[in-house]
Copies of this chain bind each other. A is one copy, B any other.
């Protein structure tokens, strides 16, 4: 099976590649060819060196999608995107990559299929940014998508295209609406959502972290391992069970900041919790107040998608996958 991963240098992309390196049959059948695409140079695990090609390119550029799809991959995992903040500040770039680049990819698949039969599986990383406030405290599967960012708009449009192209049999698509990933590895970044991870990741290695909101803020989480699991599960899913509604809100954990902190205390004690510095930031508080806090992800759950059910599990994943099982 020829697998193509777009956005292979990103956090989930890298973990997905590592998963395939550890379990060559993870996506259903053995990977005989792996194409890793990203705007940045993707790294190749040793175990996959002989079957892997990397491509450093920009999906927003004319002709790139056609070139990628000429190789007729059987399975396409599309995680590449201009992120939320940049898509908001750079109108043209966001639409060029997130909408036009993705549509060019879909259309390139269609053109290949017109030449000779070709119906790859396409798994698309969508986002809960397709939803815009106000919403109910628990958002049902049938709630409408009224995004309040250009990023969310581009994701929602791609979801519609994915469903229509799948309905027409052009490809076999699944859209995966990811929860906020926690604990996000790496250095603290400036994303407004960064603190949800920072207040766990940093204290676990003896560093301070800033908490800019109060303890009873609720949000919607899954671990990086669960995120990889969503894509793996989507790769092997019997899509006849999905029907024409191809975009799925993934299961997740609805939890309070205080639950994060108590889980940290159980794992790493009071001294870790003491490293969390409360510095309320009205700007971040306002942004976060506009985010969903909980979903009823019944459809995805019934289809076998799984996430963590408490923050102890999320912390355990982090300790195992990022800290080699040891706490400082």
- Listed in ascending order, the chain A residues whose CB lies under 8 Å from chain B are 91, 110, 132, 142-148, 150, 153, 156-157, 160-161, 163-164, 167-168, 244-245
Contact = CB atoms under 8 A, between A and B. Distances in A.
Contacts of A150: 164, 168
Indicate how many identical chains form the complex: 2
Nearest to A136: B142
Nearest to A247: B146
A156 B156 CA distance: 10
Nearest to A88: B168
A160 B147 contact: yes
A244 B132 contact: yes
B145 A143 contact: no
A177 to B, nearest CB: 12
Nearest to A244: B148
A161 to B, nearest CB: 7
Nearest to A153: B164
A146 B142 CA distance: 9
Given A153-B163, A157-B157, A161-B153, A144 B147 contact: no
5 contacts: A143-B144, A147-B160, A153-B160, A156-B160, A157-B161
A92 to B, nearest CB: 10
A84 B153 CA distance: 24
Contact of A143 (B142, B157, B163): B142
